[in-house]
């Protein structure tokens, strides 16, 4: 019983990272119908924001030495600024282009950010341990110990998901965002300022990227120029699985993909564990064959059927 609880806690913690990342992808897709693969690189920017290169190109911990009440907002602000910059420079000029052009542009932005990080920091992984106290295990019950960072990750995800749900459903700006996601043209005719709504979607995606970056670095203690890319790939699969037209579906998909990943890692035979991802994506394919529209269908998706 204890081992099952341990697996469930691990699954929820990993699913929280995927859910937050998938939610960021879903926010931008809902507004612009853009699958922004550069979302993962925003996470990478948040991670590397912890260090400042010296004149000898040797990275020294800087922001990572700040108190967390200053460090976390600083990293989130940097990611928000980067997200808004990509929206203004790369995506706004081609906003009316076809989806393929937007997709290629997102890949271009992604590769640009990766190569910029390589130019400044080189491709060598760097140590950037933060919140060392969270690496200690917390005993929840006899025989059940959980790293503190997993509890923090789960709690942060719950608070952010609840806060975002409140914002989208209970505020005027959130209502405008939902209106634009359902019918962009009609929302503009009714007076919704599209530029503001799109910028807000990118800003929220950047804030989520910064939060994920802090949690990811606190968990791994390592920086790599592709650290956010693989997370974004899993988040994309989670978004598709949950439902591209539903933010609730994106979050649900994140928890499903994270849970399946942990369960497979825990219960697959030792000789099959290196092929965990093959089993994971195989299950995702089967689920999509069963429900090609995703696990949760948003209102906009129902209207298109």
Q: Output the domain CATH number for residue 193.
A: 1.10.3470
Beta bridge partners of 59: 53
Number of domains in the chain: 1
Does the pTM surpass 0.95? The reply is: no
For residues 77 and 224, give the distance between their C-alpha atoms in angstroms, rounded to a whole number.
Answer: 21
pLDDT the model gives residue 96? 82
Question: What would the mean pLDDT of 127-154 be, rounded to a whole number?
Answer: 82
pLDDT the model gives residue 138? 81
pLDDT the model gives residue 54? 54
Question: Is the confidence at residue 301, as pLDDT, over 60?
Answer: no
Question: Is the confidence at residue 302, as pLDDT, over 70?
Answer: no
pLDDT the model gives residue 59? 46
For residues 235 and 232, give the distance between their C-alpha atoms in angstroms, rounded to a whole number.
Answer: 5
- 193 Cβ neighbours under 8 A, 6+ residues apart: none
Residue 193: helix, strand or coil by DSSP? coil
Measure CA 50 to chain center: 18
Range of the domain at 85: 2-132+140-304
Beta bridge partners of 144: 141
What is the helix (H) or strand (E) element at residue 17, kind and residue range? helix 2-32
For residues 152 and 17, give the distance between their C-alpha atoms in angstroms, rounded to a whole number.
Answer: 11
3 against 197, higher pLDDT: 197
Burial bucket for residue 246 (CB in 10 Å: 0-12, 13-18, 19+): buried
- Read off the tokens for 256: 């499903």
Question: Is the confidence at residue 304, as pLDDT, over 60?
Answer: no
How far from each other are the two terminal CA atoms of the chain, in whole angstroms? 44
pLDDT the model gives residue 62? 59
256 against 185, higher pLDDT: 256
């Amino acid at each position: 019983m204890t081992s099952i609880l341990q697996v469930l806690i691990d699954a929820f913690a990993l699913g929280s990272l995927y859910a937050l990342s998938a939610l960021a992808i879903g926010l931008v897709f809902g507004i612009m119908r853009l699958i922004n693969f550069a979302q993962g690189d925003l996470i990478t920017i948040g991670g590397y924001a912890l260090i400042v290169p010296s004149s000898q190109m040797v990275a020294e911990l800087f922001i990572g030495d700040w108190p967390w009440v200053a460090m976390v907002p600083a990293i989130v602000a940097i990611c928000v600024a980067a997200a808004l910059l990509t929206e203004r420079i790369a995506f706004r000029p081609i906003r009316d282009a076809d989806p393929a052009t937007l997709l290629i542009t997102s890949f271009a932005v992604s590769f640009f950010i990766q190569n910029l990080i390589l130019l400044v920091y080189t491709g060598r992984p760097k140590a950037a341990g933060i919140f060392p106290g969270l690496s200690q295990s917390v005993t929840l019950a006899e025989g059940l110990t959980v790293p503190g960072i997993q509890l923090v990750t789960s709690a942060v995800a719950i608070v952010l998901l609840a806060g975002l749900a409140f914002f989208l459903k209970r505020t005027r700006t959130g209502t405008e965002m939902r209106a634009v996601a359902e019918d962009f043209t009609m929302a503009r005719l009714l007076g919704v300022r599209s530029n503001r709504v799109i910028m807000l979607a990118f800003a929220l995606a950047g804030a989520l990227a910064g939060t994920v970056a802090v949690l990811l670095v606190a968990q791994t203690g390592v920086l790599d120029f592709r650290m956010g890319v693989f997370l974004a790939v899993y988040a994309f699969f989670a978004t598709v699985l949950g439902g591209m037209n539903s933010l609730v579906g994106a979050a649900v998909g994140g928890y499903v993909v994270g849970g399946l990943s942990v369960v497979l890692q825990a219960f697959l035979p030792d000789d099959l564990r290196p092929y965990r991802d093959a089993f994971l994506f195989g299950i995702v394919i089967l689920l999509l064959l069963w429900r090609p529209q995703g696990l949760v269908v948003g209102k906009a998706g129902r209207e298109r059927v």
